[in-house]
Structure 1
Amino acid sequence: MLQGPHKLRSGLPPLHALRAFESVGRTGSAKDAALELCITQSAISHQLRQLEDALGIKLFERRGRSLSLTLAGREYFVAVAQALALVRDRTETLIENEQQDTVTVASLPSFAIHWLIPRLSEFFSKHSRVNVNLRYTLMGESAPNDAADLRIRYGSGTWEGYMSQQILGGSLIVVCTPEYLKRHGQVRETTDLRRHQLIHDQNLSCWRQWFASQGLTDFPLSHELVLHDQHMAIAATLHGQGIGLCRSTLIADDLAKGRLVRLFEHSTDGENGYHVCWREEIRLSSAAKAFRRWLVAQSKACSSEVSYSSGD
């Protein structure tokens, strides 16, 4: 026999009794609910009666060991099930996003090797508990089901389904190694480039654009080494295979340490650049947010001003 409704603290019945009620209502069995909640069947029965006593309302019809919801029980079950599902969902999201200590970054090889990896120790010095999972992505690659938290892409900054923030510009400058100049002679004028092998990535128009910006629209390109991407183009230039047209932001360290020298003050500035991107519908974890903030701060600290040398 039900007792009158007890005065509930905060207006809520015991949470463990609500869990038992929801589980029985969903599975239709006190035995199954007991297995699900890892308690005894008698404990389930006790919690159900505790809930009914607290509410002063009969929630189940009992016939032997079988249980069936009353009309009031069915209405209450819908509300309790929705509420617990919401709490469960928000709890899982909170744990995944706010306590996650790993950030997965998909980056173009050129950016990862020549800019990002050399600076990662600075990130770890400030975020020692964050793990970074870094992997490659290719130019133009589309991965709607990508598991990466952040992506480093090159372009205008507009990609469907993504939010983005520019981190590095994409100006192109003419460079080579000091050893290359010693072997092949100095480069003082633009016309001197005719006798040298010119290196660039698959964007075949880059050198022509650079020459056109110098007023040379019909400059002949007799010796070219065309490589798949900027990473390969920079590597070939560093190995003395010719004169490269490279993005200044990716070779700033090589210039600063004398591995490369800039041959002309002139550069071409395109509208494109490197951007950090993330899916619009995904709520970033605290680790991903920290990495994104660090990227932006590093990009601001990275000077794009580099000196040039005629090779004297």
Structure 2
Amino acid sequence: MGTTRFYPSIASLRALEAFERLGSVTKAADELALTQSAVSRQLQTLENHVSVSMFVRDGKRIALTPAALNYARDIRTALMTIQNASIRLKANPRGGSFNLAILPSFSVRWLAPKLPDFVARHPEVTLNLGTNLEPFDFDTEPYHAAIHFGAPDWPDANHMELMTETVIPVAAPALLKRNPTTSVADIMEQPLLHMNSRPNAWEAWFQMNGTVPTLLTGPLFDQFATMTQAAVHGLGFALLPEYIIERELEKGLLEKAVDVPPVSLGKYYLVWPKTMSEYQPTITFKNWLSRYAASGPITSA
């Protein structure tokens, strides 16, 4: 890469990290099972390597400069990354880790029931799940792939369609009894619940049903699960994915607010950066998930 001069030895970096954390060469030497002179030599070697004055010396006392202090803390993070990678390798020498960003409601209702099959078929892959409600950036976030809702418009990424989401307007039976709705226009007069990740969902739904919406206000929610419970308890009318509220509809906790066909406001996708296309755990996961995907063969964005 032409930048090897910026790669000090691990031994000298460990000496720096221990010295900064413990505050003395003696304590660093004890922890690293080295002599004090060996630790001092590692620190001197590091200072020579980076060609920057790192230490303030006052007689026998030695301390880090402010810049070196920040450097030592950055090095600690890097060493922890190396340590954790080594631990994962030791724990799973046959495979690798696969970090997947998920959407809570979709993952609980659609993905989670399928995951035991993946774990049983591919014990060589360590699957790590992280919730991400905001638009993701593979360049800055530690994910190999992500479950995403919307349209396939990600640069430098591949995608696989998983499912089309259809939504319907619902409300608690008691609320519908107090506020009967017989048309799409009637719903505009009701208290409406909104998802902050889909601020224009109600507006799009009204337009798709031939109605020009007026000002649509109401409380915001960050997850479908909490919005569903709010609707069940009569807080307002909610526009919810059918797959999420199957049980609530079956139990009569929610009812359809108006008799119109479900509409789709988007689809769910598995998305992965092109740089991860040859990473074996990515290949393994997307090939396994393709058996459940609506799109069939994997496509490129």
Unaligned runs of 5+ in 1: 1-94, 302-312
1:197 aligns with 2:187: no
Aligned to 2:212: 217
Distance 1:236 1:285, change over 3 A: farther
8 Å Cα contact 1:100/1:285 also seen in 2: no
8 Å Cα contact 1:171/1:267 also seen in 2: yes
Amino acid across the alignment from 1:274: Y
Distance 1:289 1:128, change over 3 A: same
| 1:277 corresponds to which of 268, 271, 274 | 271
| 2:285 corresponds to which of 284, 291, 302 | 291
Distance 1:181 1:278, change over 3 A: same
Alignment of 1:34-113 (within 5 A): 99-100=94-95, 102-113=97-108
Distance between the aligned counterparts of 2:114 and 2:251, measured in 1? 15
State the SS of the aligned residue for 2:207: helix
> What is the TM-score of this pair, normalised by structure 1?
0.53
Moved more, 224-233 or 207-216: 224-233
Distance 1:161 1:243, change over 3 A: same
Distance between the aligned counterparts of 1:239 and 1:295, measured in 2? 36
Distance between the aligned counterparts of 2:151 and 2:226, measured in 1? 22
Distance 1:208 1:295, change over 3 A: same
| 2:242 corresponds to which of 248, 255, 280 | 248
Aligned to 1:150: 145
Amino acid across the alignment from 1:165: M
Unaligned runs of 5+ in 2: 1-88, 296-301
> What is the TM-score of this pair, normalised by structure 2?
0.54
Aligned residues: 204
Distance 1:208 1:282, change over 3 A: closer
| 2:159 corresponds to which of 137, 155, 164 | 164
Distance between the aligned counterparts of 1:191 and 1:283, measured in 2? 48
8 Å Cα contact 1:153/1:274 also seen in 2: yes
Aligned to 1:62: none
Amino acid across the alignment from 1:188: T
1:226 aligns with 2:220: yes
Q: How many Å apart are 1:245 and its aligned residue?
A: 0.8
